[in-house]
């Protein structure tokens, strides 16, 4: 079975290559092979490969930059997923796509899949467009909204805070944004369990396409997430690596950004749990697993150095 994965140099895509390998032949597509900014070429790519499954992990994720590049963000996040989904349908395959908690305004939190989308920034609007484009194809598809994605590689909030904690004694962290940190590894692992079940349903004629929320369990604030990052790092890395001794809670106003962020984007995952019956670990357990993996990489590559790994 061929599984085509886009965005394989990104956080989720890189983890997907590892998690999906036991299921079949992985066709890795980085930007040079599948440039979502050029959707016209995507259809032919899928028809040439004719995969059983297409997993779209490529996306425009520069939230602040999207305020000035909304057209480009919408092409990548909005138009291209629809092209990929339509081509996958033409090839007779299953299409899997990822969306975001940023499709909501963050006023109430605990959003389920039926809650109206009211994005407060260009990035969120582009992701809503992608959800609609995928659903409009009418093929076999699954869209998973996730949140606060991080990994032990690439650029993300987790690594940024960890590196700052290794350089400064005091850090200011916003305490009025709430969500659920979810590692790229967990997203890939859950996807790896969903695919065989979905294919079995397709073969049995019982499959229903749909959109589901898929995050770690639990909820937290940005501030408490950073507290946990520092605590876990301090318990694993040698003395002297983590320098921060004080975390100062501040409001989002202390860090003005080009794009507004939803204040409370906690997602309700009950539909996912009922449909797939998979265990979603608590975000703290998920964090500990990611930190342990990062520490192992540090031990191998940077074992004698009192500095955090540059991954």
201 Cβ contact list (under 8 Å, min separation 6): 207, 208
Which residues face 232 on adjacent strands? Answer: none
Residue 123 annotated to the active site: yes
**Candidates 60, 102, 123, 150; catalytic one:** 123
Phi, psi of 200 (to 5 degrees): -65, -40
Task: Assign 3-state DSSP to the chain and report helix, strand, coil percentages, each to 5.
Answer: 45, 20, 35
Angle 53-198-125 from CA coordinates, rounded to 5°:
70
Which residues face 217 on adjacent strands? Answer: 282
Side by side, which strands form the sheet with 53-56? 25-29, 2-6, 53-56, 94-100, 140-146, 210-213
264 Cβ contact list (under 8 Å, min separation 6): 106, 107, 108, 109, 177, 178, 179
DSSP-assigned letters across all residues of 56-125: E------TTGGGT-HHHHHIIIIIHHHHHHHHHHHHT-EEEEEEEGGGS-SSS--B-TTSPP--SSHHHH
Active site residues: 123
């Amino acid at each position: 079975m061929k599984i085509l994965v886009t965005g394989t140099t990104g956080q989720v895509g890189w983890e997907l290559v590892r998690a999906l390998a036991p299921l079949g032949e992985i066709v890795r597509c980085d930007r040079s092979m599948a440039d979502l900014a050029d959707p016209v070429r995507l259809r032919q790519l899928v028809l040439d490969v004719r995969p059983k499954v297409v997993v779209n992990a490529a996306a425009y994720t520069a939230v602040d930059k999207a305020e000035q590049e909304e057209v480009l963000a919408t092409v990548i996040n909005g138009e291209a997923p629809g092209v990929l989904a339509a081509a996958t349908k033409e090839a007779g395959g299953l299409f899997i796509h990822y969306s975001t908690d940023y499709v909501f305004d963050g006023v109430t939190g605990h959003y389920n899949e039926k809650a109206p989308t009211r994005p407060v920034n260009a990035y969120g609007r582009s992701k809503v467009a992608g959800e609609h484009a995928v659903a409009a194809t009418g093929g076999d598809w699954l869209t998973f909204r996730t949140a606060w994605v991080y990994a032990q590689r690439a650029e993300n909030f987790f690594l940024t805070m960890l590196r700052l904690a290794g350089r400064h004694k005091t850090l200011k962290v916003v305490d009025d944004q709430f969500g659920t940190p979810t590692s790229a590894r967990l997203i890939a692992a859950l996807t790896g369990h969903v695919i065989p079940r979905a294919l079995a349903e397709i073969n049995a004629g019982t499959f229903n396409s749909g959109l589901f929320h898929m995050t770690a369990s639990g909820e937290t604030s940005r501030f408490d997430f950073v507290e946990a990052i520092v605590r876990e790092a301090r318990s694993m890395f040698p003395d002297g690596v983590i320098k921060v001794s004080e975390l100062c809670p501040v409001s989002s106003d202390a860090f003005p950004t080009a794009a507004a962020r939803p204040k409370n984007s906690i997602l309700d995952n009950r539909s996912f749990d009922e449909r797939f019956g998979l265990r979603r670990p608590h975000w703290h357990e998920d964090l500990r697993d990611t930190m342990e993996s990062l520490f192992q990489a540090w031990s191998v590559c940077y074992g004698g150095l009192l500095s955090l790994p540059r991954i």
